[in-house]
Structure 1
Amino acid sequence: MPYQCSECGKYITAKTDFHHHLIVHSGEKPYKCSECGKSFKRRKGLQYHQRVHRGEKPYKCIECEKSFTSSTGLQYHQRVHTGEKPYQCSECGKSFTSKTILHQHQRVHTGEKPYHCSECGKSFTRRNALQCHQRVHTGEKPYQCSECGKTFTTKRILHHHHQRVHTGDKPYKCSECGKSFTRRNALQCHQRVHTGEKPYQCSECGKSLTTKRILHHHRLRVHTGEKPYKCSECGKSFLARNDLHRHQEVHTREKHYKCNECGKSFKRGSDLQYHQRVHTGEKPYQCSECGKSFTRSNALQYHKRVHTEESHYECNKCEVSLNKFSQFTLHL
């Protein structure tokens, strides 16, 4: 006879699995690592974790020789080679490599966000998303770049930083225009420029956006006015975490991004990329009207006004319109 959870109503057949499930609601983690103090719900989870300290990865992939601490980790990895996605969502038909990822995905349909931040009350669909978010409050950045020493809140952001700044590797290429990207999801978002797809719709005004992040910023900026990311130094608040990080450089004055051609340093990786075009002569943004090329996309946008005769800056005293902000300020 199955056991029913009094908290969520879920039925579980095995008594052991039922006790493990109850820990989800209680938050209890009775198994603690003697090396680092990290706690786990199951003894097996602790055993797998201890291999991190010992450097032990006994499960090896015969395809690419990558090693894993658990047999489950190896099984999930092997689906990268086979393309197998055995777990399908009954709502939308999307398939996944593991049951855990399927459960996380299903929260998109149910709206469930079981992980709550005790500091600000924000909720998340995944525990690791909550843990990453909590670093906004603590200021913790546990992942350090071995090349430049810069620290990051997540391993993923560190990996992207290393690709973008130190290796220059951009393995994801657009088949339409040839533009390359460091991340797969960045390529997927870019491809919507060509397809015109805008899959994320605002429930307030019906406006459609290309990414979930842009939709989130749209809601904050237009409908709520909320600025959840606050600078601990001066109290200034921002819509986006990236804007906060850029602002914090005002206080630290750190310039982590150095040009290997001339030694000039920059605060942001994007500024270094733009600067390097001085050395390479690269001008990737071309005007479709006259063929003139530019190093930055915003420079191309300003140039296009020459063809459209669009006047962006209008004086509210004499109704004169000017294309450039510099001309507008001189006019005033």
Structure 2
Amino acid sequence: CRECGRSFRCRSALVNHHRIHTGERPFSCQDCGRRFNRRSNLTTHRRIHTGDMPYKCPDCGKSYRVSSTLLRHQKTHTDERPYRCEECGKSFRHRSTLTIHHRVHSGERPYKCPECHKSFKNSSELVRHGRTHTSERPYDCSQCGRRFGDSSQLVRHWRTHTGEHKHSDPTCGKSFSNRPRLAKHQQVHTGEKDYRCPDCGRGFNRRSNLLVHQRSH
């Protein structure tokens, strides 16, 4: 590549890579108009509209749109968490998740929005935030037609049609429609406080509580 010097085994891989520098997105979704720099990314995206989930877990039967998500899911059956945070002792299945978690302690937010300069801990948060400026809503509910800015919102919305509450707290039996809400609830039992005030060291189990507290300083 003449831009960054990176080398590739075949010309097609170089062509795909070069679009990172040019911003070219020649592959367009017929359903929502979203554009992609690779045909394979468009193929994966199309499964959001078609509902196609070709990658199935042999242990529990759960299906996924992409193979990498299936591989991540399969680690939940082994409960292997080899990546441990030296600050708080929390363990993670993936190194990338540990890297993002470290930013809770460091306060680092390396991904900045070019429109409003708001910063984020990871790139996916920046992508979701970017849609607040463009009003892009690429994920639509096949039941009622309502559209959403990210797939997790669509999943949570879909459960309003099915009545599904699949995430249950083993301590008290209370059920939640998504894992983040369950995780927040479980901090009531564990006393875990991930958000620490840099001024006085006081810990909080929710970022919103930390922000309210910081105003006292």
Using the size of structure 2 for normalisation, the TM-score is 0.73
Q: Where does structure 1 lack aligned partners over 5 or more consecutive residues?
A: 1-88, 309-332
- Could you tell me how far apart the structure 1 residues matched to 2:172 and 2:16 are? 47
RMSD: 3.5
Q: Is the 8 A contact 1:198 1:208 kept in 2?
A: no
Q: Please list, as runs of the form range in 1=range in 2, the aligned pairs for 1:98-247 lying within 5 A after superposition.
A: 99=10, 103-146=15-58, 149-163=61-75, 166-173=77-84, 180-189=91-100, 194=106, 196=108, 198=110, 202=114, 205=115, 207=117, 209-210=119-120, 211-222=122-133, 224-247=134-157
- Could you tell me how far apart the structure 2 residues matched to 1:179 and 1:107 are? 38
User: 3-state SS of the aligned residue for 1:250?
Assistant: helix
Choose between structure 1 and 2 for higher RCO, CA contacts under 8 A separated by at least 6 residues. Answer: 2
- Counterpart for residue 4 of structure 1: none
Q: Please list, as runs of the form range in 1=range in 2, the aligned pairs for 1:64-83 lying within 5 A after superposition.
A: none
- Counterpart for residue 284 of structure 1: 194
Deviation, structure 1 residue 125: 2.2
1:299 equivalent in alignment to 2:199: no
- Could you tell me how far apart the structure 2 residues matched to 1:102 and 1:183 are? 29
Query: Which of residues 175, 178, 187 in structure 2 aligns to 1:265?
Result: 175
Higher Rg of the two aligned structures = 1
User: 3-state SS of the aligned residue for 1:251?
Assistant: helix
Using the size of structure 1 for normalisation, the TM-score is 0.52
Aligned residue type for 2:194: P
Aligned residue type for 1:152: Y
Query: CA 1:274–1:168 in 2, change beyond 3 Å: closer, same or farther?
Result: farther
1:254 equivalent in alignment to 2:143: no
- Could you tell me how far apart the structure 1 residues matched to 2:74 and 2:174 are? 19
Question: What is the total number of aligned residue pairs between the two structures?
Answer: 214
- Could you tell me how far apart the structure 1 residues matched to 2:2 and 2:168 are? 50
Aligned residue type for 1:140: D
Q: Where does structure 2 lack aligned partners over 5 or more consecutive residues?
A: none
- Could you tell me how far apart the structure 2 residues matched to 1:156 and 1:213 are? 16
